[in-house]
Structures are given as structure tokens and as C-alpha cells.
Structure 1
Amino acid sequence: MRADDGTVGAATALLDAYRPGDTFFASPFRTLLARGVHARVPHGAAPLGDRVAQTLRAAREEGQAAPFVVGAVPFTSTEPVELAVPGTARWAPPLCQDPLIALPAQTPSGGPWRVRPVPEPAVYAESVGEAVRRVERGDLDKVVLARTLELSSPADLDTPAMVQRLARRDPRGYTFATPTGPGRTLLGASPELLVSRRGRHIVANPLAGSAQRSPDVAEDVRAAAALLESAKDLHEHAVVVQAVLEALDPLCSELSVPPQPTLVRTATMWHLSTTVAGELAVPDGHGRQPTSLELALALHPTPAVCGTPTGRARGLIGELEPFDRGFFTGVVGWADESGDGEWVVTIRCAEAEGRSLRLYAGAGVVSASVPESETEETAAKFRTFLDAVGAEL
């Protein structure tokens, strides 16, 4: 592994060097370009954390100086992961600190795009209505329902240009692109850190409760202010924060949570945000602290992407969503052999294969949800990727 220095252009050089088959991961703290595969984390019955640890130990014994794994974990825990120790890796400071990130990105080649929604918006709205009825009946408290857009082009996809557009539009977010199979790439720009670990220090940044942004400054400010006062969104957010606390509290000696959420903005959305910070407890005897990936698995899936109670929400998702989520609402990131790493929630994303893209977006459904409003929210979330490829609904 080779670390680049902090000179101007170091981070954007990694962005420019990305090619399909590589893994690119950019966060507010660092930029990574990984190339090739030294070893893959195998699928199996053993816990994923154990399989990752064994893969990293073997890589160290085989001469890797500082092995780490990078890639994606799907929404459903029983499906195979796409995690690997890369052949080579380059690190740089964050994109947001590189002045060259302000340079415009070219529009990706491809198009005109044919767009097919799955399900149709009216069908999705009906599913939201059914979910509201289930919540009102007391079957569950919340469920996150998603829909997809299938985009096809007569030309080959320009994946590097898409990654450029995503990264340059939201350089303070989390931009990623990683292979998920032969000829398939998962790429996106997530606003949500599931968890990071550096030594004993951990951070989680759950997001829940959203509002569409407006190009009109006054309207944009009104939307942000309304979100901060929305009883529905504040309740939805509080449920997610509570789930994060319940998962992390047994593992930590210290845990701090702000009393009220703040706002995070992307190019297209406002989100309610709470930053949870803590210190992992020192284990007794021969115990060990959980790795960043194990912390991510303890949190995944949060009510922000699944619902609550988790089992009932998963069941309703399987009943009402007419597609397999795959890696959407899973986690993507990296972890090293010491257990440090960063894992983000796989949203605002698409999967590219051949000349087609499948985009994903979801909305949290509670008793106060209005089907038309949730449908509009998913349309707004699609804008992140539609803008990156030059397509429209």
C-alpha cells in the first residue's frame, strides 16, 4: 500500500485514475483507489468478521505489508459479500481539501436514455398506502419501501465519468465505485456514515427524515426549516438514533449524543442528522474490541433503511418490493487488520452492467406518511444519479 502526500491534485489524481474494475472510495477524511485482487473474502457459514480476519491474516503471511479489505456487503446478510484485499492501493487526503475538485466534470457519454420505473409510481404509491395501513393496524412501527429506475443506453456506459460527476457534485460526501461481479459495478454518492472506527474512537451518523431541496434560495431555506420542525420526520429520526444507541451502548464505555438533530445537505436533499460519538470499552481478560466491520454489522440494517421491528419490516419489504435489493441499503467501505475503517450506507446508488443502470431510492413509511409525498421523495432522491448521467424522469 502506498500513501500519496497532501499536495494539490493528489486526491483528484486518484479520481482521474479510476477505471471499471477498480474500487474508488472517497470520504470527508481520505480518498482511496484500490486496484486488482490479492484475495477475496470467501462466502461461508462462519461469521463475516471471522472470515475477514482470516483473510487479512493470510494476506499478511503472504507478504502484504498493510492488508485491508474493501468492498460491499448486501442488504440481506445471507447473500455473498463482495470484499477483497486489493493487489495495490493508493491513499490521498479527502477530495474536499483538493482545490482541483472544483473543476467541472464532463457529461458522461451515452444516451438517449430509456427509463423504465420498477414498479410504476402509481403502484409504488399503492404499496406505501398498504404499508401505512399495516402500521396503523399495529403490525409494525415503520418500514422503508424502495423503488427502482432501469436505465438503458444504446452506447456503452462511461462509468468513470459518472464517478467524476458524483464526486465533484458532493465532494464532502461519500463517493464509491466497486465491482459486485463480472462486468458489474456498484457506484453512488451516499450522505450517510454508518460507522467509522479509529482505535477506540467510533462515530456513527444516522440520517432519517428528508426534504427535497429547491434551486430557489428562499424556498430552500423554508424547506430546511420545515424539516427541523416536522413532527413526522423528527419521530422517524428519533427511532433510528435510538436503534443506533441500543446497538452501540453495550460496546462502549462512553457515548455522546446531541439532544437535537441538525441538518445535512446534499446537492438534492436536506436530511436530519445526528452524530453519535463514543469510545469502545476496554475488553476484560482475553476479549477483544469489535472491528469497524463488526460494528457496522451490529448496526445494519438500521430503521433508516429497513424499518422497525426489523424482522417484520424485512418481511413487508419482501412482500411489497418487486425486486431484489442486492447491495442497495447494504454497506460499502474498508477495514484494516487493526479493525479501523469506514462503512457507509449504500444509498443514492446504482448498479451498472453492460449498457444498463439500475437506480434505487427509498422512503420511510410511518402512520403519518402520504403515498404521493413518499413517491415524490424517491423521485427527488433519484436526482443524485440522474444528474450524474444526464438523464431525466
Structure 2
Amino acid sequence: MTTGTAPNAATPHPPTDGAGPHFVLSRPHGTVTAHGVADTIADPAEAVARVRAGHVIAGALPFDVREPAALTVPGRLDVTSTPFPVGTPPGVPAVTVRRHLPTPAEHTRRVSDAVTRLRETSLRKVVLARAVELDAAEPLDHRAVLARLVAADPSGNGYSVDLSPAGGDHRGVRLVGSSPEVLIRRQGRTVTCHPLAGSAPRDPDPDLDAALGRALAESTKDLTEHSYVVESLKESLAPLCTDIEVPSGPVLATTPQLWHLGTPLRATLRDPRVSALELALAVHPTPAVCGTPTDEAMRTILDVEGGRGFYAGAVGWSDASGDGEWMVAIRCAQIAADGLRVVAHAGGGIVAASEPNSELDETTTKFGTIMAALGVTD
């Protein structure tokens, strides 16, 4: 294990909830854990300046970066070379569905309206999401949910972030999830990202499962949707990077629930002072979670859904040298401070060729990651 300590002017103090680290990011290549809070930061621009001044930053960015972020200067940042250790996944109390927001019927209507708009305006893609509110019979332990998410993911992906630094209703709230999508990673001057866009459900039958993957790889609708994301990332990275390497086409990636189209990008940072956090802010939100053109898609989402909070934002860290990693905050849920209320989100990219019922089914499949971790069968 290697340990880095943030250089802080303030005196470090432990998280107020007494429930362990306030930030955990588990990845196949290692786990980053933040302990103690020297300072909290709600303004991403301030956080960028703090990294440039030699501080460590960890936490979460909201979907709409005009809203408060949940970032901290930790007292200590621990980095290991293995995923988060879980052992035997712990149990969780019974969790039941309270209601869907919006109802499935309303979501399909929204998708239908969006398709009409896509065919009649300059909007080319918009990501529409829906939420499920859940109730726990007893307080949920976010550490148990994280352990179950990591144990269920073959790559060991998982994260848990205290959203208290964002203030207001976020005090004591935990964002817990298992994201397969790398928004940005910086190691020295090497920058990588791995956007995912275009999805298909998995199937227990190996032959049918393979056929579903092949169909996704050949889907004109999904390939078009994916290309919007790749082109956007190239454009966003160009002012900050050189030698941007993009494969000739996407590759198939999997989670236990879904096939995805993914494209690994690699580039060289122009200015070594630019941190992973700055890079994340430069590319977020990508068309994978928002749409294209970005401004028009964002307006559509805010008009249709209202605020998303930290769903479809980013979770990650930057160390004092600027290295770090930020994941797209998907396959997640927010656990209330009392542990009794949970809100999960799932969304899908809508293009002119989208079919409303299929888009509804896609969100249901995407809910599977967090629902399985919570033990929800309905």
C-alpha cells in the first residue's frame, strides 16, 4: 500500500458520520480511499486551484457543474494496487420500491416526444433518465452496499462518496455505485478515457448472449450514438492534448447486466500543470450522459427531468501532482442520511431512430446493478 497525505493549512478532522472513509473508489488496478477531512469544497474552480497548489482532492461532481460539488481535501489518501477488499458480501435489510419517477408510461411518452424533437430540430442525441425511490426496513450501511457492488462486478468497480460538502439536502447523503465508464485518467502526461455508449442486455444463454453482443456491434443506431461521444471527447481534449489516438471503431465491453460499445482513447497532455480534475471538467458532461449538442441537450434534460443532482456526474480524485481518475457516476443510488430512503437513477441515449419501449427496457436493465446490490427483486 502506498499512502499520500494532502498538504493542508487546516487541521484534519474525521468525517462527521463516523462510518469510515468519506470516499472510496475501487478499480481493477487499485483502490483509492480518503480519510479525514481537512477542507470541503463546493466550487470546482476552487478545487482546480487547490490541486495546482499541491493539494489532494477527492469527491464528486454534479451532472450540472453549475450546482455545488461535493469535494474534499482529505487528511490522508490511501492508494492500493488491488480492488476494494470485500470477502464474503454482507447482507442488507429488506429494500422495497416506493414509486417510479416518472412512471414507466410517462417515461416512454417522454422518449416519444424526444424522438419527435430530434427529427425536427438540430438536437442529435439526448439522454433521458428516470428514478426509482426505495425504502429500507432498517438503516442501510453504505459500506455493505459498496462491498456487494464490488463483489458482483468482475472488474471490481465500485464507489462510495459522502455528498455532505455540497451542503443543503446533501448533508449525510451517500452516493454509492459501480461504474464501468472511465471519464478521464491522468498518469503523468498520459491521458486515457473509455467512453461507453450503445447498450444491449445480457442473456444467461451463452449463444443468445453472444448473438446480442454481435447485434449491438452491428447496430447502425448504436454506432451512430457512440460516434457522437467519441467525436465530442476528441474535440474537448484537443486544446489540452496532443497525439490523440482513437481506434477505427468501438469494441464490445460487458458488465453482468449489459453489453456496451466502448472506445479507449489515449492522448498526451500538453501542459503538465493540467490535472485530472481539470481534464474531467473539460470533457464533462459527455454525450454519453447528456447528448449533443451539449447545451441543447442539457436544456432539454433540465426541462423534462429537472435537476439530476450527482447522478450522471463524476466521481474521482486528483493527487498533488495532478494525477488521478474520474469515473462517470452511473449505476448508482443516493442513500439518505438516515439510511432508510434510497433514490436510484438509470438513463439511455435517445436518437432519432430510438424506439420508446426499447428505451424503457434499457433503463430497467441498467437499474439491475444497484437493485441487485440492494436485494430488490421487484
Alignment TM-score, normalising by the size of structure 1: 0.86
* Counterpart for residue 34 of structure 1: 34
Question: Partners in 1 of 2:51 and 2:210 — Cα distance?
Answer: 49
| RMSD (Å) for aligned C-alpha atoms | 2.0
**2:134 paired residue among 143, 151, 159:** 151
How far does residue 188 in structure 1 lie from its aligned partner after superposition? 0.2
SS in 1 for 2:138: coil
Residues in 1 aligned to 2:227 and 2:377: alpha-carbon distance in whole angstroms = 33
Cα 1:356–1:162 change in 2 (3 A) is: same
Q: What residue number does 1:83 align with? A: 71
Name the CA distance, whole Å, in 2 between partners of 1:42 and 1:112.
31
Does the CA contact (< 8 Å) of 2:125 and 2:349 recur in 1?
yes
Q: Residue in 2 aligned with 1:165?
A: 148
Counterpart for residue 114 of structure 2: 131
What does 1:170-319 correspond to in 2, within 5 Å?
Answer: 170-172=153-155, 174-181=157-164, 182-281=171-270, 283=271, 289-319=273-303
Given that 2:118 and 2:351 are in contact with CA atoms closer than 8 Å, whether structure 1 keeps it comes out as: yes
Measured in 1, the distance between the counterparts of 2:40 and 2:52 equals: 10
Q: Deviations over 1:149-186 (max 9, x none)?
A: 00012211122111111001115153110101222100
> Which one of 79, 95, 107 corresponds to residue 91 of structure 2?
107
Q: Is 1:384 aligned with 2:372? A: no
Give, in angstroms, the shift of residue 215 of structure 1.
1.4
Rate the CA distance shift 1:235–1:368 in 2: closer, same or farther, 3 A.
same
Distance 2:95 2:176 in 1: 21
Matched residue SS, 2:94: coil
How far 1:336 moved relative to its partner?
1.1
> In structure 2, how many angstroms separate the alpha carbons of the residues matched to 1:174 and 1:315?
31
Equivalent of 2:48, from 46, 52, 60? 52
- 3-state SS of paired residue (1:90): strand
Conserved 8 A contact 2:47-2:71: no
Q: Unaligned stretches of 5+ in structure 1? A: 5-17, 61-66
**Which structure 2 residue ranges, 5 or more long, are not aligned?**
5-17, 165-170
Partner of 1:8: none
SS of equivalent to 1:37: strand
Q: How far is the alpha carbon of 1:233 from its aligned partner?
A: 0.3
Give me the whole-angstrom Cα distance separating, in 2, the residues matched to 1:173 and 1:251: 30
Contact in 2 for aligned 1:293/1:335 (Cα 8 Å): yes
Q: Does the 8 Å contact 1:208/1:304 carry over to 2?
A: yes
Specify whether residues 301 and 352 from structure 1 end up closer, same or farther in structure 2 by C-alpha distance, changes over 3 A only.
Answer: same
One-letter code aligned to 1:316: T
- Provide Cα deviations, 1:40-69, integer angstroms capped at 9, x if missing partner: 2253xxxx3454333773xx6xxxxxx411
Q: How many residues are paired up?
A: 357
Q: Is the 8 A contact 1:331 1:344 kept in 2?
A: yes
Q: Please report how far the alpha carbon of residue 95 of structure 1 lies from its aligned counterpart in structure 2 after TM superposition.
A: 1.6
Q: CA separation of 1:252/1:55 partners in 2, compared to 1, >3 Å: closer, same or farther? A: closer
Correspondence for 1:14: none
Q: What secondary structure does 1:36 align onto?
A: strand
Shift of 1:251: 1.9
User: What is the alpha-carbon distance in structure 1 between the residues aligned to residue 63 and residue 364 of structure 2?
Assistant: 21
Partner of 1:342: 325
1:312 Cα deviation after fit: 1.0
Post-superposition shift, 1:250?
Answer: 2.4
Does the 8 A contact of 1:228 with 1:272 survive in 2?
yes
TM-score, length basis structure 2: 0.90
Taking the aligned partners of 2:89 and 2:42, their CA distance within structure 1 comes to 37
Cα 1:19–1:268 change in 2 (3 A) is farther
Q: How much does 1:106 deviate? A: 2.8
Contact 2:334 2:343 in 1 (8 A): yes
2:99 corresponding residue in structure 1: 116
DSSP-derived class of the 1:344 partner: strand
Kept in 1, the 8 Å contact 2:160–2:175? The answer is yes
1:64 corresponding residue in structure 2: none
Distance 2:213 2:129 in 1: 23
SS at match of 1:250: coil
- Give yes or no for contact 2:41–2:47 (8 Å, CA) kept in 1: yes
